[in-house]
Amino acid sequence: MKLVQQQILRDLQSQNGEQMLKHYTQIYFYYYKKLIILQNNNFECKVISLQRWIDYKLIAKLGYGTSSEVIKAQSIASNEIVAIKCMKKVFQTIDEVNEFREIPILRKLQNHDHIINLFEVLFDENTWRFSLVFELMEQNLYELIKDRQILLEQDKIKSYMYQLLKAIDFIHKNNLFHRCIVPENILLQGDHLKLAGMGSCKSIYFQHPQTDYIDARWYRAPEVLLTDGYYDRKMDIWGAGCVLFEITALYPLFPGNNEFDQINKIHNILGTPNPKVLDRFRKHASHMEINFPPKVGTGFENLIPYAPKDLVDLIKQMLIYDPEERIDATQALRHPYFKELRDQEQYKLLGTSLQSIKLQEKLDEEEQKNCRTLPKQILFKKPNQILQNSIKNKKQQLQDTVKLPPLTKQQAYGPIYFQNKETKKQSAQHEYILQGKKANLGNLKKNIRQK
């Protein structure tokens, strides 16, 4: 490992350091307050500068999960309030560090309006523990609705879901899928939404079967529950559909106590799917017997009778049992439910274009004003007349700047006698130059022979 590190450091110091890094497989190591991250799973190589724990003042604990806890802290250097996600796992080997893929994923997804920003990485080289420093948001979606007695405004529901689908669409277009779309991972700062929890992301090119265990059971898609890890990015759409129902109704749609109860709750509302869908799931389901009696679901429309029809239709398309028939994030963003928000975005773009047009018109007006100060005889001349006058003026300028001395009568018309051929040739050339004619070799020879 030390030899590999030495070679990497030599490449880092070379002129094409970043290009050289791409030849390595996935490696993490700590060197002079820099975390060297090299990977081969379609993620760019990065060198991330690190901070120490002493650079932050801890304020309070915000929450905890199975693999981490979140602490509110303040940067001593900038006084900025941040959220530090402290990983509970202690890495024993470099292979275990390689499995920690959240950092390169966060770097890959940075600079998006609806993805949480990663500021710094804290690393304890003695204990081999990572902590991630994020921007601090006010609350998550679960905290917003958990004690709420009054329904959310429809405009807010629409805005939150539009922003969430934009984040999911961006993740999918980067060949990843989130795998844990739950209210706790959806953060809010005022009405601005950002998606967090990128540690569960996976590449769409990862071979099946995937890891079948996802933290939040209530938001798991049928293909996750019924197969041995044969699912894809459409599971994110199912989770988002469950979230959309929950922020509309203020309670979860499928609160199962275990996996079997979860499936039963889905069937109670949506009904059992087409037998062909179950047959497809059965091929990849060794952990359970897929043999459900046909059932007609009650539907969820009667659970939210106050919801707009477009919203209900969007939930239906996001919660289609068969993942192949379920809409994707791009299609969901084009749903009629979001027409008003799409129009507003178009108006903003149009407003920017109109500003550019107005600026151009203003420049044109200033140019016309400058033209009005020119003499009238120039303004009202025809273009071809102006061009002819310009050519004429240029010729006159050329004649004025290059004036030849006047020829004497003898030089212009009188005979010239030569003593020898060389003198005769030079005189002929001199005569052509004085007369301003184009002297080419053929004409010179012809003139000499005649004389």
My answer on whether 79 and 165 are in the same domain is: no
Count Cβ atoms below 10 Å from residue 260 Cβ, excluding itself: 11
Q: Which domain holds residue 214?
A: 142-351
Q: Cα–Cα distance between 88 and 371 in angstroms, integer?
A: 73
Residue 287 is assigned to a structural domain of this protein: yes
Q: Domain containing 147 — which CATH number? A: 1.10.510.10
Q: Cα–Cα distance between 225 and 245 in angstroms, integer?
A: 20
Nearest to 110 by CA among 55, 44, 53: 44
Residues belonging to the binding site for ATP are: 85
Count Cβ atoms below 10 Å from residue 246 Cβ, excluding itself: 21
Strands 192-195 and 186-189: antiparallel
Strands 118-124 and 46-51: parallel
My answer on whether 341 and 227 are in the same domain is: yes
Paired strand residues for 37? 28, 46
What secondary structure does DSSP assign to 243-302, as a single string? Answer: HHHHHHHSS-S---SSHHHHHHHHHHHH----HHHHHHHHTT--SS---PPP-----SGG
Q: Give the SS3 label for residue 83.
A: strand
My answer on whether 71 and 147 are in the same domain is: no
Residue 212 is assigned to a structural domain of this protein: yes
My answer on whether 210 and 169 are in the same domain is: yes
Q: Cα–Cα distance between 78 and 299 in angstroms, integer?
A: 53
Q: Domain containing 96 — which CATH number? A: 3.30.200.20
My answer on whether 81 and 98 are in the same domain is: yes
My answer on whether 119 and 27 are in the same domain is: yes
The predicted pLDDT at position 291 comes to 82
My answer on whether 178 and 301 are in the same domain is: yes
My answer on whether 119 and 147 are in the same domain is: no
My answer on whether 46 and 74 are in the same domain is: yes
Strands 56-64 and 81-87: unpaired
Residue 262 is assigned to a structural domain of this protein: yes
My answer on whether 127 and 151 are in the same domain is: no
The predicted pLDDT at position 67 comes to 80
Per-residue pLDDT of the chain (451 residues; tens, 9 = 90+): 444 445 555 555 554 544 544 444 444 444 444 444 444 444 344 444 445 556 888 899 888 877 888 999 998 888 999 999 988 888 776 667 666 778 889 888 988 999 999 988 887 767 777 889 999 999 999 999 999 999 999 999 999 999 999 999 999 999 999 999 999 999 999 999 999 999 888 888 777 766 655 668 999 999 999 988 888 999 999 999 999 999 999 999 999 999 899 999 999 999 999 989 988 888 877 767 778 889 999 999 999 999 999 999 999 999 999 999 999 999 999 999 999 999 999 888 877 666 666 676 677 777 666 665 555 554 444 555 555 666 566 556 555 554 455 555 454 444 444 445 454 445 454 444 444 444 445 554 455 455 5
Q: Cα–Cα distance between 36 and 38 in angstroms, integer?
A: 7
Paired strand residues for 84? 71, 133
As a whole number, the mean pLDDT across the chain is 77
Residue 388 is assigned to a structural domain of this protein: no
My answer on whether 164 and 196 are in the same domain is: yes
> Which of 317, 351, 385 marks a domain boundary?
351
Task: Count the domains in the chain.
Answer: 3
The CA R_g of the chain, rounded to the nearest whole Å, is 39
Residue 193 is assigned to a structural domain of this protein: yes
Count Cβ atoms below 10 Å from residue 96 Cβ, excluding itself: 13
Q: Give the SS3 label for residue 113.
A: coil
Alpha helices, DSSP H, located in 14-126: 17-21, 94-98, 102-108
> Which of 333, 351, 369 marks a domain boundary?
351
Kindly report, residue by residue over 214-268, the tens digit of the pLDDT.
668 999 999 999 988 888 999 999 999 999 999 999 999 999 999 899 999 999 9
Residue 358 is assigned to a structural domain of this protein: no
* Positive/negative CA dihedral, 201, 202, 203, 208: negative
Kindly report, residue by residue over 153-193, the tens digit of the pLDDT.
999 999 999 999 999 999 999 999 999 999 999 999 999 99
Q: pTM of the entire structure?
A: 0.68
* Positive/negative CA dihedral, 148, 67, 201, 207: negative
Residue 178 is assigned to a structural domain of this protein: yes
My answer on whether 235 and 323 are in the same domain is: yes
Residue 381 is assigned to a structural domain of this protein: no
Residues belonging to the binding site are: 85
The predicted pLDDT at position 242 comes to 98
- Residue pointed to by tokens 């006159």: 396
> Which of 69, 102, 136 marks a domain boundary?
136
